[in-house]
Structure 1
Amino acid sequence: MRPPKKRTIGRNEQKPLRKGNKFHNSKPTAKKTTTEREDIRLNKYIADAGVCSRREADKLIADGEITVNGKVETNMGTRVTREDVIKYKGAVLKREKYVYILINKPKDYITTMSDDKDRKTVLDLIEGACKERVYPVGRLDRNTTGLLLMTNDGELTKRLTHPSHHVTKIYVAELDKPVSQDHLDQLMKGFELEDGFTKFDSAEYDPKTRSKNIILVKIHSGKNRIVRRSFEHLGYDVKKLDRIQFGTLKKGALTRGKWRLLNRKEIGFLKMTK
């Protein structure tokens, strides 16, 4: 029996060198300099400064609204470092480490940074989550549960809370008595409250329970206690109110009293809010 023929390595092949349990390419790799490691695309720098999303930053660059080291930069592929001076409308942009925390708020926590009555605040729920000081985006009253976003990204906060941007919020409301279809229609047609006209984007019986006491409502208004006040206007008392969606953020598996950091995709979608 002839012994098996040994395979030879061709001219264009490299045999990996084994070291411990890892393989290392025999060809040395050039070390990156500190600048090379830290440089990023200009649009990301602008987005990290909280001005806008990366897509919107591309438009600012193309429109000649961004300067780098005193010169207008219109090349969207430009890369910059922390040593470069980037300006928008004459103001220097500084990259910050932004933190985005989503909380499933329990009842009896207030949406303030501190309380002179020593009540529990939403900051108690995220103690130790980050070193940065974060603030609530909008508010949930003490008895309302559900999703609350907290961040130090001021630009995004303004965008998500400004009435012109129509950020959708979805709530599950449990009422003290069955709600008539006529009243659901009124909620969607709208009516005047003490602070002006309001209406719901949608109001329907909860498809999960089919109970006429439990209503699924969608609204984009950011007025204080707007869901509770709207039902009270029609003669109902809201027993429970839970926010299950804020913009593109959904509760998912986030349990009551817990928090999690947003991922890049979620942050990107929020920054695309018009």
Structure 2
Amino acid sequence: MSRGNEGSSGKGSGRQGGKSGSSSKGGNRRNAGSQDHKSNTSGRGGASTKNTRGGKNQVIGTSRSGNPVTKKEYINRKKKENSTSKKSSATGIRLNKYIANSGLCSRRDADIYIAAGSVTVNDKPVTEMGFRVQPSDEVKFDGRSIEPKRKEYFLLNKPKGFITPRTGEKQSKTVMDLMATASSSRLHYIGRLGRKSLGLMIFTNDLEIANIMNNPKKRLRKIYHVALDRSFKHEDLMKIRNGVTIEGEEIKVEDINYVEGGKNNEIGIEVHSGKDNIVQRIFDSVGYEVVTLDRVVIGGLTKKDLPRGHYRLLSKQEIINLKMLA
């Protein structure tokens, strides 16, 4: 009995011990696993960090300082790096614009010289059209150093007796003499006027703008105060208002009328044509001679506070308005 009891007691004790041991062991494993999970989570970024697999908040590494880096942070950083890289690659100024800004020629002509190998950057020939010049670069055109200059725009009230020379034409008393002290840059005129004519002209070192504005097809607003050799008949005024034909081409005027408070031979006429001597030719077509021609408006600019023979710089707003017409 005692042996059986002992056996029974031993088995029972053994089962209890096993159960207890199993329970303890299993519990320890679960607890240990739970502790390990918490420890790992804490080690990666603290209990507050969500580790969502495949999501933007998934931790994919650590920074140099040891802080956790999520997928979202990594993507944003790469986007910023790529954006900075693109901006840095677009710095500087295109070579053809650099040459045009120096006043030597237009941007289109600059492309021709670049392709011909006439331009060097840091003493190396450059024929690439999209090449960008950096601030520290030295650019040479036919061996001569060049640099872009600040764009300048002037308004001149031209007096009689000065001609507007064409390219290469040498004459005494030209409008360029009146602008000699205005700028150290080479200036180009907009709105040619003859020796006997007077009034407003624009001057600039911006060759591109000058070429556009001087194109005969460009309709730049101009208003003239004209004095004729005799009284102007109303029927002739109506002929011009309805359009006249010059050399086989019909010329339209925007407006024409007698000058208010003036004599019968004083006429105000608005034309947008860029053809040479167009006003004189309009009045010639109806049999009148122009004695005095005074341009009082050009491209929205007037003679207000600008004495005859003087010039002034255009304001920032006037420059913006002028470029909008180009």
What TM-score range do you get, normalising by the shorter chain?
A: 0.5 to 0.7
Q: Counterpart of 1:160? A: 213
Cα-to-partner distance string for 1:65-106 (whole Å, 9 max, x where unaligned): xxx988xxxxxxxxxx8469xxxxxxxxx8531121211111
Matches within 5 A, 1:116-265: 116=170, 118-194=171-247, 196-207=249-260, 209-265=261-317
Verify the 8 A CA contact 1:165 1:273 in the aligned structure 2: no
Q: Hey, what's the Cα distance between the residues in 1 that align with 2:231 and 2:222?
A: 23
Q: Tell me by how many angstroms 1:163 deviates.
A: 4.0
Pair 1:195–1:156, CA change in 2 (3 A): farther
SS at match of 1:200: coil
**TM-aligned CA distance change 1:205 to 1:133, over 3 Å:** same
| Residues 243 and 95 of structure 1: CA distance in aligned 2, closer, same or farther (over 3 Å) | same
Letter in 1 for 2:297: Q
- For 2:265, the aligned partner's letter is N
Q: Given the alignment of the two structures, is residue 110 of structure 1 paired with residue 163 of structure 2, yes or no?
A: yes
Q: More relative contact order in 1 or in 2 (CA 8 Å, sep 6+)?
A: 1
SS in 2 for 1:148: strand
Q: CA RMSD in A?
A: 2.8
Contact 1:115–1:121 under 8 Å retained in 2: no
Partner Cα separation in structure 1 for residue 187 and residue 179 of structure 2: 10
Equivalent pair of 1:163/1:222 in contact (CA under 8 Å): yes
CA distance in 1, matches of 2:207, 2:183: 17
- What is the DSSP-based 3-state SS (H/G/I as helix, E as strand, rest coil) of the residue aligned with 2:199? strand
1:154-191 C-alpha deviation (Å, 9 max, x unpaired): 22112222344411100000011111222112112112
In the comparison of the two structures, how many residue pairs are matched?
195
The 8 Å contact of residues 222 and 271 in structure 2, kept in 1 or not, is answered as yes
Identify unmatched segments of 5+ residues in structure 1. 1-41, 52-67, 71-80, 85-93
Q: Does 1:101 align with 2:154?
A: yes
CA distance in 2, matches of 1:264, 1:159: 20
Give the distance between the partners of 2:193 and 2:159, measured in 1 at CA: 10
TM-score (norm 1): 0.63
Given residue 189 of structure 1, which amino acid in structure 2 is its aligned partner? N
The 3-state SS of whatever aligns with 2:325 is coil
* Letter of the 1:141 counterpart: G
- Give the distance between the partners of 2:263 and 2:287, measured in 1 at CA: 18
TM-score by length of 2: 0.54
Q: Secondary structure at the match of 1:186?
A: helix
Give me the identity figure in percent.
35
- Max Rg structure: 2
